[in-house]
Structure 1
């Protein structure tokens, strides 16, 4: 770290000052948050899954009007209109394309040929190996502490696995909120960290105040993982809705899913057939009930109820466990500055530690730390 920057293979790849990523959270990562993050020197990522194609185009242009810094767009590789969205990313000169699901080899090649940096998010070593072999420029690896759809392996176990398995920059996600975490990730071999919940809880986030207050009031134990929403492990705040779904039987769950699916269909203009096809596409080989298939397709509406409409009762609030450690709402500039100052102080403190002499092999059954 020198001056006001911290250069890593990831910052050099995407052209940002700091190895920090604001993740592409649906209904949250809009132009205001993304541009504020980019202007602060980190990589902001625009969430496109909850936008129409034309809304995405307008959002990209709004970000460009607010900042000259690099930013990214998060895409759904399995979306029916993925090709149109890729056209926008390429045509508008977006620097980074990120993906929640693995993009195809052909999609990666098309983006890279156009000069776009491809950064898929993964939750397992084998997924990282696959996308790296297909040409991905970097990967974001999320451990089980992360919000939204998540796995069961902790970041501290998954991250070194992935770092050892691939030759591209690895960005760590899941459980990060400060400079100490950044230094820890770098020590594991990562080239940066990605944060969702921490950027959601900033003054630049457009999430309603009542919802932010619910996050700020949460303890670590108020963040749970449930499969009742869409059949997949989903980390979120424990709310009245989550409690109701976990208590519900199949009939009541189906009625609930039908009501929300009808609302999503009206908003999105999708047919019932399209809804069901989308829900089935999200099954990932799981044996889901019909209520879970419908909820999988219209989970965006459950998120919208909280992140846009401010509902804290009948909504989904995806959250990392780290929500229980966050107690304020800084601006993105304040947050990034704080994280980097903490990282700098942590590195300096580590530099002040006495050096430890290597222990001879024959003495390693009785380890002793010895200062030079």
Structure 2
């Protein structure tokens, strides 16, 4: 299927696997790339050396294009951009709007810049700064998310910018891909659907929790870091929501110490990153610490399998997924479903 996205990044299919922390590692990204879609490596939970090694590992597993996702507000974002450029990565994806300077540096080096946004005004801003495309996530998406549904947000953004728009939030099959194309998107981005594949390194017991979830088991809470975060509802999430200020602060400090040990970040760097999330928001100091070490809460579940001590980001589609295909099987299935859906629509048109 030929779209503005496939032409821009050089993939066969207009499907993007999003950069999920602790999930989108070299194995998942290379499997996605080899399936003909765009795999995005999550770098926010990696040190600089780990990022370089991960990029090289993906390159050793596939000749297809892939991308790296960055936190635009990270203190070392410039260093990570230089790694992307030095290692010849095709696409740079951003969880927050990157600065005009970072966009220019990447574009000057021939890297395709695709920020992720959750509002029309943010899409307009990065488009004006030179972004090549934008991923727009509606409220159905997992992780930090907004309140506007994809079906409302997507056409707004398509109408507002003159660059390719990739739709995220609520997509998992070929019917969704065709619907996104009908709205004017150039493709779809999926996170939870790729998390629930056999190529994902998420522990089997955690995958089973996702597969057992219903739509009602996927919730949005601000208890983790003060920001709306879509995840599976668990006893641990309930306990966070019921925690008092002192207990929440103690929990935040303990988790922050774990992040510091794992990532090599200094306390100053973690507080700085937490304050970046606090900017413009009414967060308590415990929430600032939690914002800085939310990655450790995700690691507990996504890597260690401790769903009793961690959180599981999830799009609403978790409630309708019931299998674990390989990335190749998933992409082939989505494209076959899309072709069948388009054929049905063509038959409807011809019958008039």
- For the aligned pair, the TM-score class normalised by the smaller chain equals over 0.9
- In structure 2, the partner of 1:170 is 165
Q: Deviations over 1:58-112 (max 9, x none)?
A: 0000000000000000011111111111111111111000001111111111101
Partners of 2:16 and 2:39 within 8 A in 1 = yes
Counterparts of 1:192-203 in structure 2, within 5 Å, are 192-203=187-198
Say which SS state the counterpart of residue 294 (structure 2) adopts. Answer: helix
Larger Rg: 1
Q: Does 1:285 align with 2:280?
A: yes
Query: Are 1:325 and 2:310 an aligned pair?
Result: no
Whether the 8 Å CA contact 2:142–2:169 is kept in 1: the answer is yes
Specify the alignment match of 1:184 in structure 2.
179
User: Residue in 2 aligned with 1:133?
Assistant: 128
8 Å Cα contact 1:228/1:246 also seen in 2: yes
Q: Is the contact between residue 210 and residue 312 of structure 1 (CA under 8 Å) also seen in structure 2?
A: no
**1:239 CA drift (Å):** 1.2
Q: Kindly indicate whether residue 44 of structure 2 is the aligned counterpart of residue 49 of structure 1.
A: yes
After TM superposition, the structure 1 = structure 2 runs for residues 255-274 of structure 1, keeping only pairs within 5 Å, are 255-274=250-269
Structure 1 residue 214 displacement after superposition: 0.5
Q: Deviations over 1:247-275 (max 9, x none)?
A: 11111111211221122122223333332
- Secondary structure at 1:144's aligned position in 2? coil
SS in 1 for 2:88: coil
Q: Which runs of 5+ in 1 are unaligned?
A: 1-5, 356-370
Whether the 8 Å CA contact 2:73–2:273 is kept in 1: the answer is no
Residue 224 of structure 1: SS of its match in structure 2?
strand
Tell me, yes or no, if structure 1 residue 235 matches structure 2 residue 220. no
CA contact (8 A) 2:46 2:263 kept: no
Q: 2: distance between equivalents of 1:261 and 1:152?
A: 29
Out of 9, 16, 21, the residue aligned to residue 16 of structure 2 is 21
Give the counterpart of 1:116 among 103, 108, 111. Answer: 111
Give 1:68's aligned residue. 63
Q: Which one of 6, 10, 24 corresponds to residue 11 of structure 1?
A: 6
Which residue does the alignment assign to 2:341? 346
Q: Is the 8 A contact 1:182 1:343 kept in 2?
A: yes
**Counterpart contact for 1:235–1:320, Cα < 8 Å:** yes
CA distance in 2 between counterparts of 1:72 and 1:274 reads 25
Give the TM-score, by structure 2 length: 0.98
Higher deviation after alignment, 177-186 or 276-285: 276-285
Alignment check: 8 A CA contact 1:222 1:238 kept: yes
CA distance in 2, matches of 1:275, 1:36: 32
Distance across 1 between alignment mates of 2:263 and 2:316: 31
2:203–2:303: 8 Å Cα contact kept in structure 1? yes
Give RMSD over aligned pairs.
1.0
- Correspondence for 1:214 among 197, 209, 213: 209
Aligned length: 352
Q: Which moved more, 1:81-90 or 1:111-120?
A: 81-90
What is the deviation of 1:283?
Answer: 1.4
Aligned partners of 2:137 and 2:169 also within 8 Å = yes
CA displacement, residues 150-191 of structure 1 (integer Å, 9 cap, x when unaligned): 000000000000000000000000000000000000000000
Give the structure-1-normalised TM-score.
0.93
CA distance in 2, matches of 1:140, 1:250: 36
Q: Secondary structure at the match of 1:103?
A: coil
1:296 aligned residue? 291
